[in-house]
C-alpha cells in the first residue's frame, strides 16, 4: 500500500488491466527516470534490463479486474565506468527504489546497442584494420562484425573481470550481399565492451576469403519458378479469437501473453473451459535459455557457443513482423516495449503474431457398413515470434488445439555460421557447403521452463515407459507389453533422458482431482525429436549450461529460480542455474512443479542448407491424459465440403 510519504501519483502511471501486463512505454520511462533521479549510478551506466517484476503468484491468482495493482519493475544496470552490475526493483506506485543490490562478479547480457557500437569501434581500430589489410581488405564499409560471447574456459584471460566480446568478421563483396559467404577465418577481435575498444587481436593465420557469393535475396535470383498459383486463406467473418489487452480467448482456451528481453514471448495462465469450469494447465511457460555449441576444436572455433537468451536476450532480437511475416489469414499483432541500454523505449512493432491455422484433420471415422463419414478439421491457435540472432533465425511457436493439446515448436532457419578453408582442405568437424566455405557441426539446444498447474497448484510427476513382459505362463505368446509409471519423488530422480525406443513420456498429475475413472487428472509431456549433447561432461560449456546434460529436470517452484543457466550466464564460470537449483535434492511430490525440458536439434550441415537454410522443426507436446472424460473435441462442428470448418453454413 502507498505510504503517506510516497503518495501515488495517479497521472504518472496509467493503470494496467492485469498484474502480468508487460511494462508500458510510459512505465518504462518512469522506471528509467526514477533510477536516474536516485543518483545511484553514474552517467556511464547502461540499462541492461527493464522489465515487469512479476507479482507473487498468489496475488496474480487472486486478482480480480478493477482491483488495485502494485506495479514494479526489475532493472539490471551496468556501470561502464567501473564495470559494476546492479539489480533494482522499482516501485512505480510509490515512485521509489524498493530494492537495490550490487552483484559482484556478474556480467550482464550483451545489449543490442553494444552490437552496433562494437562494430563501429572495431572498424576504426588501426590494429583490426591492419589485420584486414593483411587479407587484402581495404574497403571497411563492407566489413560485418558479429560480437559473439566470450564464454569462460577458466583460462587466464577469462578471469580478468573485463566485459569482453569476441568479434568475428565477414566481408560483403558489395553492399547488401550475403556477407556470411566470406568469413574472415582465424581472426578474432576481443573487445572490452566497458571501454568499447580492442582488448586484443587473435590472428591465427591468413586464409583466403572463399571465392563464391552466396546470395538468396530476390535481387540476386535471376529466374523464379513460374508454375505457382496462389493459395489464399480467407476468413471473411474474421478470426475466432477475442483479444482483451494481453489476454486471448479462443474457443475453450484462455491465455495471457507477455514479453521479456531475455525470453521473448511468455505464455501465462493457460486455462481450458471444461463445461463451464475454467481448468488451469500452465501458470507460465517460456524459452528460458538456449545454447548453440559448435563442435570444432580449432583455436579459432572452440569458443563458439552462443547462449542466445542468457548472454544476449532473445527478446531484444525479435523481428518486427511488419517487415515480413510467415503467417496466413487474419492476423493480430502485438508490439513489444523494451528499453535500450541508454534507457530509451525500444518498441518492436508487431513482435508477436497471433492467428489461427488449419492443421489437417482433427479426427475421422467412416462407418464402412453405412458409408457415413464423420471428419473434423483441426484448427489451432498460433502465438509466435521470430528472432534474428546474428546469422540465424529462430521462430518460436505455441500452438493450442481443439483437443486440449498444447504444442511448442521452434523453427530454425537463416544462415549457417561459416568458416573458410584453403583450396582442397576439409575438416572432420563440419561440412563443406560451397568452395572453400565450411560450416562446422553444431547443436541448437533449448530449455523451456514450464510452471505447471494441472487443474490446480499441487502436482506430481511420473516417468512412463513401455516394457515387454518376460515370456512365461502369463505371457506364453510373447505379445504382452505394458506401460509402467514410476513416481519421481525428488529432483535427482526427475533428471531424465528421452527414450524414444521405450516411448518414454512424463505424466504430470493432480492427486487432488480424480477423473470419473478414479485416476488423478493429468497432462503428459511428449518429447519430439531430440538428441543428447555431444560435449564432454567435463567441458566448461557443459558446466555453464548444465541443463544440456538431461532432457527433463523438475524443481519445486521458487520465485528466484527462473533460468536454466542462472541469472548471469555471460562469462560465468559455471555451476549456476539448474545445477545449483537441484543441489539440495528437494522433494517434488504434491507441490507446485516447474518442468525444465531440454531439446536439441543436431545440425550436421548440408550443402542444401546453404546459402539460407530450409526450416528445421523441433518441439514437444503437452497432451491431456485423463484430464478430460473423453475426446474433448466431439463438439467441433463438421466442415462444409470443400471448405475449412466454417461451423454454421450461414
Ligand atoms: Cu544449425
pLDDT of residue 1: 35
CA of 2 to the centre of ligand 1 (A): 51
User: What is the rounded radius of gyration, in angstroms, for the C-alpha atoms of the chain?
Assistant: 26
Confidence of residue 640 (pLDDT cuts 50, 70, 90): confident
- Going from the Cα of 529 to the center of ligand 1, the distance in angstroms, rounded, reads 15
Is 308 a catalytic site residue? yes
- Per-residue pLDDT band for 327 (boundaries 50, 70, 90) equals confident
Sequential DSSP letters for 287-328: EEEEEEEB---STTTTT-EEEIIIII-GGGGB--GGG-----
pLDDT in the model for residue 643? 53
In whole angstroms, give the CA distance from residue 303 to residue 284: 33
Question: What's the mean pLDDT when you consider all of the chain?
Answer: 94
Q: How far apart are CA 449 and CA 559, in angstroms?
A: 13
User: Whose CA is closest to 117, among 195, 177, 36?
Assistant: 195
- Nearest-5° Cα angle at 416, 618 to 391: 95
Q: Identify residues whose C-beta is under 5 A from ligand 1, the ion.
A: 603
> Per-residue pLDDT averaged across 438-447, rounded?
97
CA–centroid distance, 336 to ligand 1, in Å, is 27
∠ Cα 304 264 278 (to 5°): 140
Residue 561 corresponds to which cell in the numbers above? 529460480
Among residues 79, 146, 177, 308, the one annotated as catalytic is 308
Of 392, 397, 568, 581, which is the active-site residue? 392
How many angstroms does the Cα of residue 146 sit away from the middle of ligand 1?
17
Q: Give the lowest-confidence range in 122-126, 267-271, 312-316, 646-650.
A: 646-650
Confidence of residue 2 (pLDDT cuts 50, 70, 90): very low
Ligand 1 center–CA 610 separation, angstroms:
11
Handedness of CA 258, 262, 264, 267 (dihedral sign): negative
Confidence of residue 122 (pLDDT cuts 50, 70, 90): very high
Give the distance (Å) from ligand 1 centre to CA of residue 48: 28
Instruction: Give per-residue pLDDT as tens, 574-631.
Output: 999 999 999 999 999 999 999 999 999 999 999 999 999 999 999 999 999 999 999 9
pLDDT value at residue 328:
86
Cα of 115 to ligand 1 centre, how many Å?
22
The fraction of the chain above a pLDDT of 70, given in percent, is 96
CA–centroid distance, 616 to ligand 1, in Å, is: 9
Ligand 1 centre distance from Cα of residue 607 (Å): 13
Q: Does residue 358 have an active-site annotation?
A: no
Amino acid at each position: 500500500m502507498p505510504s503517506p510519504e510516497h503518495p501515488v501519483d495517479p497521472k504518472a502511471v496509467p493503470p494496467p488491466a492485469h498484474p502480468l501486463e508487460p511494462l508500458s512505454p510510459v512505465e518504462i520511462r518512469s522506471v528509467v527516470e526514477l533510477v536516474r533521479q536516485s543518483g545511484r549510478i553514474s552517467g556511464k551506466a547502461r540499462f541492461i534490463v527493464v522489465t515487469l517484476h512479476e507479482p507473487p503468484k498468489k496475488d496474480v491468482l487472486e486478482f480480480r479486474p478493477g482491483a488495485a495493482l502494485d506495479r514494479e519493475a526489475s532493472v539490471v544496470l551496468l556501470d561502464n565506468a567501473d564495470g559494476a552490475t546492479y539489480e533494482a526493483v522499482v516501485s512505480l506506485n510509490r515512485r521509489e527504489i524498493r530494492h537495490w543490490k550490487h552483484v559482484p562478479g556478474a556480467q550482464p547480457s550483451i545489449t543490442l546497442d553494444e552490437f552496433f557500437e562494437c562494430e563501429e569501434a572495431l572498424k576504426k581500430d588501426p590494429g583490426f584494420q591492419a589485420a584486414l589489410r593483411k587479407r587484402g581488405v581495404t574497403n571497411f564499409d563492407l566489413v560485418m562484425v558479429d560480437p559473439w560471447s566470450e564464454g569462460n574456459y577458466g583460462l587466464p584471460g577469462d578471469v580478468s573481470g573485463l566485459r569482453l566480446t569476441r568479434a568475428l568478421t565477414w566481408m560483403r563483396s558489395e553492399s547488401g550481399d550475403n556477407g556470411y559467404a566470406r568469413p574472415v577465418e582465424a581472426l578474432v577481435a576481443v573487445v572490452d565492451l566497458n571501454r568499447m575498444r580492442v582488448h586484443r587481436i587473435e590472428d591465427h593465420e591468413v586464409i583466403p576469403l572463399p571465392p563464391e557469393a552466396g546470395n538468396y535475396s530476390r535481387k540476386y535470383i535471376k529466374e523464379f519458378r513460374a508454375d505457382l498459383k496462389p493459395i489464399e486463406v480467407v476468413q471473411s467473418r474474421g478470426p475466432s479469437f477475442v483479444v482483451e489487452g494481453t489476454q486471448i480467448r479462443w474457443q475453450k482456451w484462455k491465455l495471457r501473453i507477455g514479453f521479456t528481453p531475455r525470453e521473448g514471448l511468455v505464455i501465462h495462465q493457460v486455462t481450458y473451459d471444461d463445461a463451464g469450469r475454467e481448468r488451469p494447465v500452465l501458470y507460465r511457460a517460456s524459452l528460458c535459455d538456449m545454447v548453440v555449441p559448435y563442435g570444432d576444436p580449432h583455436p579459432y572455433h572452440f569458443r563458439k557457443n552462443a547462449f542466445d537468451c542468457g548472454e544476449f536476450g532473445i527478446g531484444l532480437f525479435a523481428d518486427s513482423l511488419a517487415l515480413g511475416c510467415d503467417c496466413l489469414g487474419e492476423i493480430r499483432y502485438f508490439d513489444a516495449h523494451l528499453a535500450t541500454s541508454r534507457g530509451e523505449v525500444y518498441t518492436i512493432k508487431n513482435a508477436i503474431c497471433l492467428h489461427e491455422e488449419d492443421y489437417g484433420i482433427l479426427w475421422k471415422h467412416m462407418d464402412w457398413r453405412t458409408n457415413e463419414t464423420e471428419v473434423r478439421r483441426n484448427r489451432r491457435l498460433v502465438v509466435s515470434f521470430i528472432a534474428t540472432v546474428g546469422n540465424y533465425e529462430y521462430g518460436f511457436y505455441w500452438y493450442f488445439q481443439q483437443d486440449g493439446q498444447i504444442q511448442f515448436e521452434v523453427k530454425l532457419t537463416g544462415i549457417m555460421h561459416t568458416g573458410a578453408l584453403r583450396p582442397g582442405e576439409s575438416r572432420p568437424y563440419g561440412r563443406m557447403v560451397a568452395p572453400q566455405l565450411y560450416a562446422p557441426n553444431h547443436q541448437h539446444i533449448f530449455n523451456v521452463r514450464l510452471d505447471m498447474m494441472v487443474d490446480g497448484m499441487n502436482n506430481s510427476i511420473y516417468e512412463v515407459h513401455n516394457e515387454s513382459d518376460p515370456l512365461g505362463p502369463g505371457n506364453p505368446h510373447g505379445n504382452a507389453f505394458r506401460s509402467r509409471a514410476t513416481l519421481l519423488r525428488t529432483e535427482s530422480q526427475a533428471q531424465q533422458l528421452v527414450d524414444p525406443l521405450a516411448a518414454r513420456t512424463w505424466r504430470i498429475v493432480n492427486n487432488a482431482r480424480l477423473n470419473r475413472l478414479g485416476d488423478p487428472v493429468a497432462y503428459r509431456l511428449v518429447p519430439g525429436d531430440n538428441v543428447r549433447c555431444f560435449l564432454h561432461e567435463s567441458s566448461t560449456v557443459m558446466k555453464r549450461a548444465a541443463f544440456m546434460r538431461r532432457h527433463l529436470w523438475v524443481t519445486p517452484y521458487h520465485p528466484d529460480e527462473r533460468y536454466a543457466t542462472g541469472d548471469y550466464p555471460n562469462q560465468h564460470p559455471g555451476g549456476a542455474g539448474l545445477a545449483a537449483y537441484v543441489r539440495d535434492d528437494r522433494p517434488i511430490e504434491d507441490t507446485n512443479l516447474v518442468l525444465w525440458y531440454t531439446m536439441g536439434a543436431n545440425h550436421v550441415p548440408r550443402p542444401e542448407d546453404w546459402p539460407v537454410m530450409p526450416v528445421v522443426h523441433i518441439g514437444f507436446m503437452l497432451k491431456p491424459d485423463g484430464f478430460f472424460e473423453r475426446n474433448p473435441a466431439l463438439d467441433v462442428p463438421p466442415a462444409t465440403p470443400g471448405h475449412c470448418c466454417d461451423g454454421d453454413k450461414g
